[in-house]
């Protein structure tokens, strides 16, 4: 095509306000460039970071993310259906408990699905998750290394794979090493649940080291101990969180916790989708999110 014509076309296009219609394009090209992000509780710092990183990665790779949020009551499968109606090129599920049937449906339609911290039993999808056993082990090591002798763990009642998993891995590890561990059930994974748990804890538990399965839970628990009950942290009780949300590092909290590489997780999730788009037959993979201990002010000083 001659440069001359090219320019003429471009000019008139601009003049007419021409704009490519991706929707029409996708009809022919069989690829919409849309991807789905299924998330809930976007208002928790951890989830917000995760979704932000995922959206960024998708956009950077030329995909356009649709955000569907499933808060408690709503129908998760309905949302996935909706995504399929929009012919998404892939989706990332980071909330809820997707049913096997819905994953199968995606597989049949050749829509790559990456599950973040969802039940590993689900075949037909790639997984990005923390190694719950390693997490439980690390939590135990961090607390025992700082002088913990009696342990407790806050275990959310809702059956989220990763949260529940690390709680029980922690308990198992304690018991295996011959220590006592109190399991305190809590209603949810947020600040208020942690706060409430502190009330029960001071009455019932003799533990000197508490593993809270999320930072939000830990921060509520910490406030309950310190503000409501005058417990000295970390001298009377050590508190350990999980996630390393920004608030954990705030001076007034200085929460010791376990950092997880959420950014890496997002990048990896996007990569897994991209790779499966190019080769839908490749075997399913599981990526373990790196963890790192972060000792701050709610665990005791390391002994020399």
Partner DNA sequence: TTGAAAGCGCTAACAA
Partner DNA sequence: TTGTTAGCGCTTTCAA
The residue from 127, 226, 276, 300 that contacts its own copies (CB under 8 A) is 226
Confirm or reject binding of residue 252 to its own copies (CB under 8 A). yes
Task: Find the part of the chain contacting its own copies (CB under 8 A) among 1-9, 20-28, 113-121, 269-277.
Answer: 20-28
Instruction: Verify binding: residue 176, its own copies, rule CB under 8 A.
Output: no
For residue 28, the partner it binds in its own copies, DNA, none, with Cβ less than 5 to 8 A by kind, is DNA
Contact present, 79 and 68 (Cβ < 8 Å): yes
Question: Which of 227, 236, 280, 282: binder of its own copies (CB under 8 A)?
Answer: 227
Query: In terms of CB distance, is 9 or 27 closer to its own copies?
Result: 27
What is the C-alpha to C-alpha distance for residues 59 and 38, in angstroms, rounded to an integer?
Answer: 16
Cα four-point dihedral sign 231, 233, 234, 235:
negative
Would you tell me which residues interact with DNA (CB under 7 A)? 1-2, 5, 18-21, 24-25, 27-29
The C-alpha atoms of residue 115 and residue 50 are separated, in whole angstroms, by 13
Of the ranges 57-65, 154-162, 207-215, 235-243, which one interacts with its own copies (CB under 8 A)? 57-65
36 to 64, 80, 195, 267: CA distances (angstroms): 8, 8, 35, 15
Q: Does 107 bind its own copies (CB under 8 A)?
A: no
Q: How many residues bind its own copies (CB under 8 A)?
A: 55
8 A C-beta contact, residue 291 and residue 138 = yes
Phi, psi of 107 (to 5 degrees): -60, -40
Rounded Cα distance between 274 and 272, Å, is 5
CA-based nearest residue to 110, from 278, 295, 255: 278
E strands, 79-134, in order:
91-93, 113-116, 126-129
Q: Is 288 in the site for its own copies (CB under 8 A)?
A: no
10 binds, among DNA, its own copies, none (CB under 5 to 8 A by kind): none
Residues that bind its own copies (CB under 8 A): 17, 19-24, 26-27, 32, 34, 37, 42-45, 48-49, 51-52, 55-56, 59, 64-69, 71, 79, 82, 84-87, 105, 108-109, 191, 195, 219-220, 222-224, 226-228, 246-247, 250-253
């Amino acid at each position: 095509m001659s440069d001359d014509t090219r320019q003429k076309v471009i000019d008139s296009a601009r003049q007419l306000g021409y704009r490519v219609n991706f929707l029409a394009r996708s009809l022919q090209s069989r690829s919409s460039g849309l991807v789905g992000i299924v998330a809930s509780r976007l208002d928790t710092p951890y989830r917000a970071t995760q979704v932000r990183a995922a959206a960024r990665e998708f956009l950077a790779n030329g995909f356009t993310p649709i955000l569907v949020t499933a808060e408690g009551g709503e129908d998760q499968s309905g949302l996935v259906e909706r995504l399929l109606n929009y012919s998404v090129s892939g989706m990332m599920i980071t909330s809820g408990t997707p049913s096997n049937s819905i994953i199968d449906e995606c597989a049949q339609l050749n829509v790559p699905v990456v599950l973040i911290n969802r039940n590993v039993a689900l075949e037909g999808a790639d997984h990005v998750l923390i190694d719950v056993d390693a997490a439980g082990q690390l939590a135990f090591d961090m607390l025992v290394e700082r002088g913990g002798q009696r342990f407790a763990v806050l275990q959310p009642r809702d059956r989220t794979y990763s949260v529940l998993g690390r709680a029980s891995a922690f308990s198992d590890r304690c018991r295996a090493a011959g220590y006592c561990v109190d399991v305190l059930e809590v209603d949810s994974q947020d600040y208020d649940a942690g706060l409430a748990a502190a009330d029960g804890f001071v009455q019932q538990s003799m533990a000197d080291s508490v593993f809270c399965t999320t930072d939000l839970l830990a921060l509520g628990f910490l406030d309950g101990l310190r503000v409501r009950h005058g417990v000295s942290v970390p001298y009377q009780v050590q508190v350990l969180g999980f996630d390393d949300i920004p608030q954990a590092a705030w001076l007034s909290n200085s929460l010791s916790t376990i950092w997880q590489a959420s950014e890496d997780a997002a990048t990896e999730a996007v990569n897994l989708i991209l790779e499966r788009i190019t080769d839908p037959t490749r075997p399913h993979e599981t990526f373990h999110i790196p963890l790192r201990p972060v000792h701050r002010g709610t665990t005791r000083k390391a002994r020399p």
